[in-house]
Structure 1
Amino acid sequence: MAQEHTHGPHPEHGHEEHEEHGSFKSYTIGFVLSIVLTLIPLYLVVNETLAGGELIFVILIFAVLQFIVQLFFFMHIRSGEAPRYNVMALILGLVIAFTVVAASIWIMSFNATVQ
């Protein structure tokens, strides 16, 4: 006899769907925030509202905010079976990326002073 299997959430197996994970509302909010966080620096650059270091600083702030929005609304960093492991892996990746970038800048500045 064939056993009938239905597709969908199975609470007895621990596969319950969460509303905050991948809901249309969550994706829409993330999309709108991403657009706004992209358009504000674009406006500042196109209209030359800020100059030099101030502009770079504001763009970096908006980039960090964009990164946070991407993590929480699209990559679901706090959801899943083990969100603590996701955050730890993210922190490790950020430490490695920071180390590579800082070491590259250090080497390039050392080479500039030697030559």
Structure 2
Amino acid sequence: MAKQEHQTGYGDYIKGFIASLILTMIPFYFAATKSLPTTATVAILLVCAVVQLVVHLVYFLHMDRSEQGLWNSMSFIFTAIIVLILIAGSIWIMVNLHVNMLL
């Protein structure tokens, strides 16, 4: 079986790093200066967080349309589903525990 390697130059890592820095500094600036209302600051923070997640997935985890990238994407989706099941199950258990302890 041939060894598959993903060839990525340093340029892609630098682009991802710069994009991550910018996407971190934008919400930090608005939170530190309090120049916008709280709801707008939270909205900017959430948008930047989602965009930064995509930047990390593409530039650092190499989730692209190649064959190896599709396998990476499938394992990421599986992991996300398992994490969501764990979080939802934990919340469900805690809500039931809260309801049953009050009765």
Do the two structures share a fold, i.e. TM-score over 0.5?
A: yes
Does residue 67 (structure 1) correspond to residue 63 (structure 2)? The answer is: no
Does residue 56 (structure 1) correspond to residue 23 (structure 2)? The answer is: no
Higher helix residue share: 2
2:91 matched to which residue of 1? 105
> How high is the TM-score relative to the length of structure 1?
0.66
> How high is the TM-score relative to the length of structure 2?
0.73
Distance 1:112 1:54 in 2: 33
Kindly name which structure, 1 or 2, has the bigger radius of gyration based on alpha carbons: 1
Q: Give % identity.
A: 30
CA RMSD of aligned residues (A): 2.8
**Unpaired runs of 5+ in structure 2?**
none
Quick one: structure 1 residues 44 and 31, their matched pair in 2 at CA, closer, same or farther if it must change by over 3 Å?
same
Does residue 82 (structure 1) correspond to residue 72 (structure 2)? The answer is: no
**Unpaired runs of 5+ in structure 1?**
1-12
Secondary structure of the structure 1 residue equivalent to 2:16 = helix
